[in-house]
Chains A and B, each alone.
Chain A
Amino acid sequence: MTEEQHFLKLFAHNLKGMTGLVIVLTFVMMGVLAPFVSPYSPYATNPNAFLLSPRPSHPFGTNVLGQDLLTLDLYGAQISLIVGLSSAAIAVGLGLVAGLFSGYFGGVVDEIIMRIVDFFIVIPALVFMIIIAALLGPSTVNVILVIGMLSWAPTARIIRSMVLSIREWPFVESARANNAGSLYIMFRHIFPNVSSVLYGNAMLAVASAIFTQAALVFLGVGNVTAISWGGIIREAYATGALTNGDLSYVLPPGFFIFILIFGFIMIGYAIEEILNPKLRLRRQ
């Protein structure tokens, strides 16, 4: 059995992991199938049917423009997944490289990178993101970049701390005696030894990026015209749906955000449990 098969087998037996996977896959299906299953076009407005309460033709009601809310909620999965996954990829990639360089070279390089990390950890990320996103202008790509570039610091710190101990292992010295260069040692020898933490961390980064994206849109930053759960909540708030007790407007997108984040976190925990033998439970 290869390691990959072994990993999949352990994952399949991990309740958290499978719960998370089912949730995430459900949302992926939702995003992919939205154009085929939604009863209305997400862009079609209907001035005669605005702010309808739930009814058989509109299970979640309609918004201020008369768009079907169920349709919007289904489409919302797309942007959350795209932004969540891509900005997490950027954040984890940057964090990995920064952590490897910082921990491996030490000295001045370490000092500089860690002071930058301190800066990003200390400043309130959301506020900083609002400023940067406002400067860059509203587009989904910009939101991805902003979230990605501003959330790599925790990953960098974790990776650095691991590299600090791994670089002292004799196999690193032995690689050096075999003529290996620094980059080769970092990526070929040290990276596999930190990857278990990295993968678990990546899932948490996705979860946090999904939340951040929703929060940014809710605050009116980024591409507010794209259909997203944060945007639906924002409109609901603007039209006073909350004060009216119009729960079918607010609850579904909020609930979706919560569940999707929960799913990614569960996958993250499962990966960590499997890859870190100290956390792995022995099955009977």
Chain B
Amino acid sequence: MIEVTDLTVRYGPAGGGVRALERINIRIEEGSIFGIVGESGSGKSTLAMTLMRLLPKSGTVEEGVIKLDGTDILKLPDREFRKMRGSTLSLVFQGAMNTLNPLIRIEDQVAEPLILHGEQNRAKAIEKAHETLQLVGLDSSTWRKYPHELSGGMKQRAVIASAIITGPKVLIADEPSTALDVITQVQIMNLLRTLQRTLKMTVIFISHDFPLVSEMSDRIAIMYGGKLCETGPNALILNRPLHPYTAGLIDSVPAVGRKKRISAIQGDPVDMRNPPSGCRFRPRCTKATDSCGSFDYTVTHAENEHDVYCTLYGN
């Protein structure tokens, strides 16, 4: 189980800079798929990088705790955490096309995490790589190829193989299907779901594609401007969105075959250098009231683990 408590991450110098995440609270049950949805700059990828402790040099965790099965991974000494990075916690990157080294064979790249985590016997590592590649649906004809000889979907499968070869407890998939066509996207999603079930992993699935996330996940978190809007079980959020931003997102998704007016959310994404006081979504929200300006992001509505951060409910 992963528990994120009051996580705040800043880019830039203390006192100034930009808070990419502010007081984020998330609970992720073991063996579930947790979806995180948000537009560009909402802090999705920063959250993923913080979980992996791979923030760029300019990024600092100001406060907060990330507990993985009870241990605070942010407090672990580097040497301890390095044993977990890429083995207990794995990351599938955004833009998989380029996450493979063009000059290293597929089997070697898939075996690499094993070798980096102390496997001395190269032949054994390669053998395990073959098994894993087979598991993600790549047959022996691809094993000794170079990345440019594979299609986008195949490359993504190889990337997933290298992420799961160490048998991670938690797999973080940051936009794993971006830049793939719809058919391949579905295949990759199905693959991730199957792997999650057979390997009993916890999957954190990050995307800006709301329909895709809702189809995949058990629970969802909606993020906006470095803040949470709403977290809860998939079905609840989808059928009864409480936060105006979530509702706006759902209304802006076209549905094939259904006569439905698509409405966009008005306004521009939040300027993170100079965020509005109170609720970050306030300037774009159609239901904003005066009290929104002093909103302090306490949970205003909680039922069936469906938490909403909005003045419309309670307060």
A192-B101 contact given A170-B93, A170-B95, A177-B54, CB 8 Å threshold: yes
In-complex Cβ contact of A178 among B83, B86, B102, B103 (8 A): B86
Q: Is the CB of A189 within 8 A of B101?
A: yes
Distance between B55 CB and nearest chain A CB, rounded to angstroms: 11
A184 at the interface (CB under 8 A from B): yes
A109 at the interface (CB under 8 A from B): no
Please encode chain A, from 250 to 281, with 1 for each CB lying within 8 Å of some chain B CB and 0 for all others: 00000000000000000000000000000000
Residue of A nearest to B52 (CB): A177
B85 at the interface (CB under 8 A from A): yes
Residue of B nearest to A2 (CB): B144
In Å, the complex CA distance between A177 and B86 comes to: 6
Which of B112-120, B211-219, B233-241 contacts the other chain? B112-120
A171-B101 contact given A178-B116, A179-B113, A179-B116, CB 8 Å threshold: yes
Distance between A257 CB and nearest chain B CB, rounded to angstroms: 36
In Å, the complex CA distance between A96 and B93 comes to: 29
Residue of A nearest to B103 (CB): A192
A174 at the interface (CB under 8 A from B): yes
Distance between A176 CB and nearest chain B CB, rounded to angstroms: 6
Question: How many chain A residues touch B (Cβ–Cβ < 8 Å)?
Answer: 16
A170-B112 contact given A177-B91, A179-B82, A179-B117, CB 8 Å threshold: no
In Å, the complex CA distance between A169 and B96 comes to: 11
In Å, the complex CA distance between A174 and B41 comes to: 21
A193 at the interface (CB under 8 A from B): yes
In Å, the complex CA distance between A53 and B299 comes to: 104
A215 at the interface (CB under 8 A from B): no
Distance between A96 CB and nearest chain B CB, rounded to angstroms: 16
A29 at the interface (CB under 8 A from B): no
Question: Which A residues touch B113, using CB under 8 A?
Answer: 178-179
A171-B98 contact given A177-B52, A189-B104, A192-B104, CB 8 Å threshold: yes
User: How many residue-residue contacts, CB under 8 A, span A and B?
Assistant: 55
Question: Which B residues touch A184, using CB under 8 A?
Answer: 116
Q: Is the CB of A176 within 8 A of B82?
A: no
A111 at the interface (CB under 8 A from B): no
In Å, the complex CA distance between A170 and B95 comes to: 8
Question: Which B residues touch A180, using CB under 8 A?
Answer: 112, 116
Q: Is the CB of A170 within 8 A of B117?
A: no
In Å, the complex CA distance between A175 and B99 comes to: 8
A118 at the interface (CB under 8 A from B): no
B100 at the interface (CB under 8 A from A): yes
B132 at the interface (CB under 8 A from A): no
A178-B162 contact given A173-B93, A189-B104, CB 8 Å threshold: yes
Question: Which A residues touch B95, using CB under 8 A?
Answer: 170
B87 at the interface (CB under 8 A from A): yes
In Å, the complex CA distance between A179 and B53 comes to: 11
A179-B104 contact given A169-B98, A170-B98, A174-B99, CB 8 Å threshold: no
Q: Is the CB of A171 within 8 A of B86?
A: no
Residue of B nearest to A176 (CB): B54
| Cβ < 8 Å to A, chain B residues 45-63 | 52, 54
In Å, the complex CA distance between A179 and B119 comes to: 13
23 cross-chain CB contacts under 8 A: A170-B95, A170-B98, A170-B99, A171-B99, A174-B91, A174-B159, A175-B112, A176-B54, A177-B52, A177-B85, A177-B86, A177-B90, A177-B91, A178-B112, A178-B116, A179-B82, A179-B87, A179-B113, A180-B112, A184-B116, A188-B104, A189-B101, A192-B103
- Given A184-B116, A192-B103, 7 extra CB contacts under 8 A: A170-B94, A170-B99, A171-B100, A171-B101, A173-B93, A174-B93, A175-B101
Q: Hey, which bits of chain B sit against chain A, CB under 8 A?
A: 52, 54, 82-83, 85-87, 90-91, 93-95, 98-104, 112-113, 116-117, 159, 162
